[in-house]
């Protein structure tokens, strides 16, 4: 399960900390969030963070979250009337933001007759473009009450379920979460469950702080990998007093703390897995070394395969230090392998949306001292 820990959905970014991306990102770190879920599309149209507003609120926020080491998922409300157009905009937004994952919001429109084919068509096209991307289905908490939803058609291609466990008009979050998890564990195909709890008010109902804490504790007791909440502006805007603080102060043990990109780069090198390293780069990233320059993920894949298999096989990489803020980083590193040693590793990153877009690398491999015979 790639996603762990606490996360929050956003809807109208200008209503979140007055649209200040730096403040949102800083508060996300303070609250121990590992991921954020931002709306990026609605049906066949793109969504930039606010209804009827042409200003792009999404890109600056993604950049700030990525700079803080927080994963960014996009969410997309689906109607199923034009699945080809909806999948086209989904692929476009995933590529534009290099998203860590994508969340499909499927509700009443997909309970209409004939929507199974729409679900298949949408999922086939998005998986054709992104076969390995984490994709979550966000929908009703009790599938037994909504048999019209094409659960199988979506879940065959999804990697996680994000049921909307909103205990509206009631005050029993633990009971509802347990029932939700049991139902989804019986469904075919079964997928890991990361529920979304209530942090909003509606028609006079609102969750209490004790209920939110009960929801979080129950999710932990059920061994779920994490939990989300809907929605940031409500939790922070004062309409549900104390709820933000409860979520902020709840320690989700085992959730990885957000890392600086320099630390994530060294960790990826130590995995000796080119796919893990490439997750840190934008699709059109440029890499320059003393001997050659290249662009694009496939060229980078070849370069790192050569690094891991030929230049520094089975190497252990260590971060000596790093500096820089915003979209620029410089790091120094060392490495030891069976083929030789690096004492002078020196790299510079230029970042866009929190991922490497420009990478200059310099190092020399020194042969290991001869072993006395």
Is the domain of 21 the same as that of 94? yes
User: 176 with 271, same domain?
Assistant: no
Q: How many domains does the chain have?
A: 2
Give the confidence band of 297 by pLDDT, cuts at 50, 70, 90. Answer: very high
Query: Of 229, 249, 269, at which residue does a domain stop?
Result: 249
Q: Is residue 373 part of a domain?
A: no
The per-residue DSSP string of 232-246 comes to HHHHHTTSSTTHHHH
Cα-to-chain-centroid distance, residue 284: 20
For residues 223 and 276, state if they share a domain. Answer: no
Q: Which domain holds residue 280?
A: 261-362
Same domain, 236 and 269: no
Residues 51 and 82 in one domain: yes
The answer to whether the peptide bond before residue 189 is cis (omega within 30 degrees of 0) is yes
Q: CA 22, CA 314: separation in Å to the nearest integer?
A: 39
* 280, part of any domain: yes
CATH number at residue 296: 3.10.450.50
Q: Is the peptide bond prior to 142 cis by the omega test (within 30 degrees of 0)?
A: no
Q: What's the CA gap between 161 and 195, in Å, rounded?
A: 7
Instruction: Report pLDDT digits (tens) over 108-122.
Output: 999 999 899 999 999
The C-alpha atoms of residue 72 and residue 196 are separated, in whole angstroms, by 16
Contact between 165 and 141 (Cβ < 8 Å): yes
**Is 136 a domain residue?**
yes
Nearest to 301 by CA among 318, 287, 317: 287
In this structure, the answer to whether residues 133 and 278 fall within a common structural domain is: no
For residue 256, name the pLDDT band (cuts at 50, 70, 90).
very low
Asked which of 218, 249, 280 is the last residue of a domain, the reply is 249
Do 156 and 275 have their domain in common? no
In angstroms, the Cα distances linking 271 to 53, 70, 286, 315 are: 43, 20, 22, 10
Is 230 contained in some domain? yes
Q: Which of 195, 189, 256 is nearest to 230 (CA)?
A: 195
Q: How far apart are CA 136 and CA 160, in angstroms?
A: 5
Answer whether residue 321 is part of any domain.
yes
Task: Kindly provide the b/e burial profile for residues 279-311, where b requires at least 16 CB atoms within 10 angstroms of the residue's own CB.
Answer: ebbbeebbbeeeeeeeeebeebeebbeebbeeb
d(CA 40, CA 8): 15
In a domain, 32, yes or no: yes
Q: Check residue 241 and give its pLDDT.
A: 94
Closest residue by Cα to residue 149 from 191, 118, 181, 186: 118
Q: Is residue 351 included in any domain, yes or no? A: yes
Percent of the chain residues past pLDDT 70, beyond the cut: 97
Give the closest residue to 70 by CA, choosing from 359, 354, 358, 356: 354
Residues 233 and 309 in one domain: no
The tens digit of pLDDT for each residue in 182-196 reads 999 999 888 999 999
Q: Is residue 243 part of a domain?
A: yes
pLDDT band per the 50, 70, 90 thresholds, residue 370: low
User: 171 and 137 in one domain?
Assistant: yes
Per-residue pLDDT at 135: 96
Walk across the sheet containing 341-352 and list its strands.
293-295, 281-288, 355-362, 341-352, 328-336, 316-323
Across the chain, mean pLDDT equals 92
**pTM exceeds 0.85:** no
């Amino acid at each position: 399960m790639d996603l762990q820990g606490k996360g929050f959905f956003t809807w109208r970014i200008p209503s979140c900390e007055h649209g200040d991306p730096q403040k949102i990102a800083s508060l996300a770190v303070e609250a121990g969030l590992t991921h954020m879920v931002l709306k990026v599309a609605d049906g066949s149209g793109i969504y930039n963070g606010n209804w009827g507003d042409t200003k792009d609120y999404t890109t600056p926020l993604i950049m700030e979250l990525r700079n803080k080491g927080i994963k960014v998922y996009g969410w997309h409300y689906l109607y199923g009337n034009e699945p080809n157009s909806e999948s086209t905009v989904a692929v476009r937004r995933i590529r534009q933001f290099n998203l860590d994952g994508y969340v499909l919001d499927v509700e009443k429109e997909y309970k209409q007759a004939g929507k199974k084919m729409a679900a298949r068509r949408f999922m086939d096209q998005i998986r054709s473009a992104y076969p390995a991307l984490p994709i979550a289905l966000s929908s009703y908490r009790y599938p037994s009450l909504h048999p019209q939803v094409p659960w199988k058609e979506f879940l065959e291609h999804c990697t996680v379920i994000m049921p909307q466990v909103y205990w509206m008009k009631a005050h029993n979050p633990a009971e509802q979460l347990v029932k939700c998890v049991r139902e989804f564990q019986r469904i075919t195909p079964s997928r890991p469950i990361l529920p979304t709890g209530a942090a909003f008010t509606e028609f006079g109902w609102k969750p209490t702080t004790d209920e939110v804490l009960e929801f979080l504790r129950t999710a932990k007791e059920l061994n779920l990998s994490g939990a989300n909440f809907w929605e940031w502006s409500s939790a922070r805007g004062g309409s549900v007093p104390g709820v933000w603080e409860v979520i902020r102060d709840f320690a989700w043990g085992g959730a990885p703390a957000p890392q600086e990109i320099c630390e994530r780069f060294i960790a990826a090198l130590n995995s000796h897995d080119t796919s893990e390293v490439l997750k840190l780069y934008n699709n059109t990233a440029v890499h320059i070394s003393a001997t050659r320059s290249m662009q694009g993920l496939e060229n980078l894949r070849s370069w790192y395969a050569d690094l891991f298999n030929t230049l520094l096989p089975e190497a252990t990489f260590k971060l000596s230090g790093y500096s820089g803020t915003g979209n620029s980083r410089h790091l120094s590193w060392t490495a030891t392998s069976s083929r030789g040693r690096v004492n002078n590793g020196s790299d510079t990153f230029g970042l866009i949306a929190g991922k490497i877009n420009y990478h200059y690398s310099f190092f020399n491999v020194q042969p290991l001292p001869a072993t006395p015979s």
